[in-house]
Amino acid sequence: MAGAALLERLTVARAPVVWRLARVRAVEEAAEAAVTIVLDVDDWPGHAAGQHVDVRLTAEDGYQAQRSYSIASAPEDPGLALTVERIDDGEVSPYLAGELREGDEFELRGPVGGHFTWRVQDGGPLLLVAGGSGFVPLRAMLRHRAAQGSDVDSRLLVSARGWEHVLYRDELSSFGDVHVHVTLTREQPPGWSGSARRVDAEMLRELGPGPEERPRVFVCGPTAFVERAADLLVELGHHPAAIHAERFGPTGR
């Protein structure tokens, strides 16, 4: 098994990163203004949970645009899934999260990224901290964990503006024995029993596991969210090298 795992790792790492044809199998709503696109990809070499892909769109006149997206599906899932949040003044996301439908085609290459990844054989405990659409690569990890029947101690903190902005709402209870905590920073539905504030030290301490358990920590979200959460985790005593971070979006300057 160890040999097979090693071979899988080497094979994934060494698969040539070439453009492949992706055909849309389904487009599913993932949250308000976000969709999950399930793809059939020609000769997909497999991936590790947490990796991302490059997408290339070609207009009729030959104009092309490229963007990177995290993979939302586990390696075990049928079809490769991307979750895309629509940014209204964006060039690519309004197309992917608005116009795209079943049967459409575009190009994709990957998987890429070898740092922000988790495989069950890496062990735990696992502490996953998601801000907004930063949930995407963490969902891949949790689906991978469930598909492997892993019982690694796992905690998930999801922060979003409101309940309708939480990605994969209907899946939150299907990840297995994962302790899930949701905080809604701006609007809470009636009877809300989760947190209603920005991520803070107390929330992270209550969620655990503490630094003495040496969890593998993955933090993903908008830049300001990740900066804050990662700083708090360091202050709580987590080793900086154990904190894997992925930031997206702009900063002030």
Q: What residues make contact with other proteins under the rule CB under 8 A?
A: 13, 16-19, 21, 54, 56-60, 63-68, 89, 91-92, 95, 99-100, 104-107, 109, 112-116, 223, 227, 230-231, 233-234, 240-241, 243-253
Q: How far is the CB of 22 from other proteins (least distance, A)?
A: 9
Please identify, using beta-carbon distances, which residue of 189 and 240 lies nearer to other proteins: 240
Q: How many C-beta atoms surround the C-beta of residue 241 within 10 A?
A: 6
CB half-sphere exposure, 211, CA atoms < 13 A: 14
Please identify, using beta-carbon distances, which residue of 182 and 243 lies nearer to other proteins: 243
Q: How far is the CB of 247 from other proteins (least distance, A)?
A: 5
Please identify, using beta-carbon distances, which residue of 37 and 184 lies nearer to other proteins: 37
Q: How far is the CB of 230 from other proteins (least distance, A)?
A: 4
User: What order of strands is seen across the sheet that includes strand 52-58?
Assistant: 64-70, 52-58, 105-112, 20-31, 34-41, 80-85
130 contacts 158 by C-beta, under 8 angstroms: yes
Q: How far is the CB of 130 from other proteins (least distance, A)?
A: 16
Task: Provide the Cα torsion 239, 211, 246, 98; round to 10°.
Answer: 180
Please identify, using beta-carbon distances, which residue of 19 and 171 lies nearer to other proteins: 19
DSSP 195: B
